[in-house]
Structure 1
């Protein structure tokens, strides 16, 4: 049977958050279902699709540089197309729409965050008719989970429970490109999770811009704790979620870390700043004291919980005192991991018009000081697992050494171990093995697999 993309190869390049990664899996599922063959490199691809992020300026720069460089890469030998078809979707596609084709004239297709399902016919039109094919919708009429998927790993699955965001943090472009928050019915989520478990998935990660507010639009109040309980009952071995907004993290959800079998002892809880003044300017709607109380409750419920966070350095108007409030928060809490960012102005957000006269050199020095604190605590936290035997979900071979396996601990630490005799990393991928830890570095643990 002939399908529209038979004998054509495609490659998906993904920037940004887990939701973008999940959208990329949906795109791969659609194109494979229509006869396309996914490849790993740009040189092999007849069709190249960029799933983009516009949260930080660096993502824009990266996209423009990569698309511009394609002019120098010829189409592969044997391709059924006379030219490579290039498409841009995700958040930059949603934000810029037709403007992208003016800045990148050799771009063929632009689509947004709300119309993944339109991509096949847009690509087909670009192939058959030429010209620029652009479709960006203001809102979605369906959930992207209704589309087929081609997961990167058979043993792990992303499971979106909400799309969009209602928070409007003043630095963030996401509500403008992902739209208002929309929750899936509990029944649909549970059915999808049960299907994954039956297919052998070991780890499910629930996705949403703010999972803690799940269900407010459907049921009148958040029901995220109910979702966690329901998915624990599916029998999945490991359950995680991202991202969690502090203002909506309830005591009921916190309690699940001490009671649910499958819920991993790790939580990403973005603080963004430790200064109440900056938090107010950011429209985060919590104080540093409230954030500290949440951490205390989490550690009461699950003493071994590994916490990670996001911190923005150099938000407009940040003073040395504001920065020191942030540094004290990070030092006091002692995170396993901190994602540190220098503030990136995003046009269209309220913070973009805020005045800031702080020299970049001052901001950079603050950033470097914070990184020193982060690294010290990450190293200190990992030392606590020296000598312990930890169950590790194997992901494959280590990037450091192909004779080592790499995987994740329950606390989401990267763990390396030598491959047992007679085995390969590929054979072990997706299995859970016990590793006795004999080395603890800042960003990883290492040890030996034990029975």
Structure 2
């Protein structure tokens, strides 16, 4: 479908035309609010086709109405209407009366005037798309996932939506009727991988067209690249049929239905409210020992290098009850490890008006930042905070490990640290993204802290949780970074001695403050050279950290057979380090011998190490609570022996 640049001026007339039909709204006391005009004028995503003297507009707007008793909002409602381009007003009015009224724009106008749940909104019929048209009717869908754990979680949400609409899962790409690529836009390298895959899919689509009786393959791009590169994907990448941003996965059945009708399907509008709280994700794997739960979405930090706020939108948190219900559901399925996810997970704050079942909710409890840290946005107030969430989640099943990522260093009040220390099933592992070790670069990055404040926070964490495992993110070659400033990053790596690090050369991203106001002046060759030096320093220090664990007894959650040897198993310890050990029978707590299975907790004596993994000997099967207590006691004995 072509995108007509001339449509936007015509859309300005929609406001007046729609006002003529405002009396078609059901229920007294409604009138169109002026933001409708702004919403139409500023719409960021639409496709139009000129047909027989009219334009058909496809868009996803949030429509505002001014109720006599206050403002009401119908969000995530999809519009699809005919707009006459005729200057003949009577004729236009006549067509307007004969055609769709304003109730077609506001999908719940014919329902009782109350706030609708998201599930209710999903059941409202889509204008111009019949109910049977949005059914998958057994078509096979294949997911190709790139990027972070949040993308894995989002893919499970998208799969849940499509499964509910009659789609089935394809295990092989060649079997698929629909291929959905979940994309990442955080760095140029991540996008390059997606572009290469789209080239491959273009060739695969052509090959499919050459087969007799073979249905055409549809390709969709989901996630952060969809929002960032929507125009390029639709206009230039002709192999892409569907483009859906991070907040439009509910709309996938309708978008795929539009493709079947020969229309281009795009929905990349960001939402201030969408959390998918009511959708139960469907795992992409058959064996589910671990699971991700998205507890909040978006980011308000606006670091100068980061595109996440532009592709994921503003921060919004799920209500705590929906999260607890999902944890219970996963517990019933036998899941042994849950990771709470969010772009800024520890800034979680549930300010919903749902029944919190006895939890103490404060209205004026302002966010308390770590000493020496600051933020660009106004501190949030009220509701339930991350400490409340972590507390309640960890109580549901003491035999389920709890992790969380990705946090911001500013949001670690002592109440969170004490919970990590005291609860056996909250892993003693904290991701603490530093990004740079130089104070000036941190200021240019708009991180909100100095090198000294970061080091002080690490010291405070280790004073409360002595055996904590720390990981971090670092960027080298950021705008204007000098060699001496880069040296500060290397010395920070040496000072902190992380268990894990995620190290990257800087990649300029459009829309960011760095793209608008800074100069990407560090040559690529210098970035690569600095990256190699960062990797060398990190591995050297990580080797020492892991060597210090030799002789310790650690609790390991078994994942399965090692990729390197069928005679060995692999699992992860409390600090999330991989541990490899022989696949042999061991004693359980009752004294009988058993074969070790994925999902078992096992005590392992560490005998060898490298910068990446630990190796050991399995001792016995145990439980999380018993094994953690034994490991903590043995750790204290081990540390005391080191002091002599």
Place the TM-score, normalised by the shorter chain, in its bin: over 0.9
TM alignment of 1:203-242, pairs within 5 A: 203-215=337-349, 221-222=366-367, 223-236=385-398, 237-242=400-405
Structure 2: distance between partners of 1:365 and 1:99: 32
Aligned 8 A contact 2:278 2:322 in 1:
no
**Matching residue of 1:135:** 267
* Displacement after TM superposition at 1:170 (Å): 0.3
- Higher Rg: 2
Give, in angstroms, the shift of residue 17 of structure 1: 1.6
Aligned residues: 446
Contact 1:395 1:429 in 2 (8 A): yes
Match of 2:478 in 1: 315
Choose the corresponding residue for 2:282, options 143, 147, 150.
150
Name 2:555's counterpart in structure 1: 391
What is residue 251 of structure 1 aligned with on the other side? 414
Measured after TM superposition, the shift of residue 21 of structure 1 is 0.9
**Unmatched segments (≥5 aa) in structure 1:** none
Does 1:193 pair with 2:327?
yes
CA shift for structure 1 position 51: 0.8
Matching residue of 1:429: 598
Partners of 2:436 and 2:474 within 8 A in 1:
yes
TM-score, with structure 1 as normaliser: 0.92
CA–CA distance in structure 1, aligned partners of residues 321 and 529 of structure 2: 50
C-alpha displacement of 1:420: 2.9
2:249 is aligned with 1:116: yes
Q: Over aligned residues, Cα RMSD in angstroms?
A: 2.4
Listed one character per residue, the Cα deviations across residues 282-339 of structure 1 (whole Å, up to 9, x for unaligned) are 0100111111111111111111111000000000000112111111111100001111
Q: Structure 1 pair 45/418, CA: closer, same or farther in 2 (3 Å)?
A: farther
Which residue matches 1:326? 489
In 1: Cα distance, 2:168 partner to 2:247 partner: 24
Instruction: Find the partner of 1:10 among 134, 141, 150.
Output: 141
Q: Distance in 1 between matches of 2:323 and 2:617?
A: 37
Shift in Å, 1:445: 1.5
Deviation, structure 1 residue 75: 4.0
Deviation by residue 1:14-38 (Cα, 9 ceiling, x = unmatched): 1112111100111222333334332
SS in 2 for 1:279: helix
Are residues 1:51 and 2:171 paired? Answer: no
Equivalent position of 1:417 in the other structure: 581
CA contact (8 A) 1:163 1:178 kept: yes
Aligned twin of 1:183: 317
Which residues of 2 match residues 367-386 of structure 1 at below 5 A? 367-386=531-550
Q: Deviations over 1:352-401 (max 9, x none)?
A: 24124333322322221111110011111111222333222222222223
CA shift for structure 1 position 419: 2.5
Is 1:160 aligned with 2:294? Answer: yes
What's the CA shift for 1:440?
A: 0.9
Alignment of 1:334-353 (within 5 A): 334-352=497-515, 353=517
Hey, what's the Cα distance between the residues in 2 that align with 1:359 and 1:129?
Answer: 48
Q: Mean Cα displacement is larger for which, 22-31 or 138-147?
A: 138-147
C-alpha distance 107-432 of structure 1, shift in aligned 2 (>3 A): same
Find 2:440's aligned residue among 267, 277, 284.
277
Q: 1:137 to 1:121 in 2, by over 3 A?
A: same
The partner residue of 2:569 within 399, 405, 408 is 405
CA distance in 1, matches of 2:212, 2:601: 41
Of the two structures, which has the highest relative contact order with CA contacts closer than 8 Å and spacing of 6 or more?
1
TM-score (norm 2): 0.66
Deviations 1:380-432 (A, max 9, x none): 1111222333222222222223443222111100122232369xxx9822222
CA distance in structure 1 between the aligned counterparts of 2:320 and 2:282, rounded to whole angstroms? 23
Displacement of 1:78 in angstroms is 10
Q: 1:297 aligns with which of 445, 456, 460?
A: 460
Q: Which residue of 2 aligns with 1:31?
A: 162
Of 105, 123, 127, the match for 2:238? 105
**Equivalence for 2:195:** 64
Task: Give 1:197 shift.
Answer: 1.9
Q: Distance in 2 between matches of 1:162 and 1:81?
A: 41
Separation in 1, partners of 2:282, 2:566:
25
- 2 CA distance for matches of 1:432 and 1:45? 38
Q: Which residue matches 2:615?
A: 446
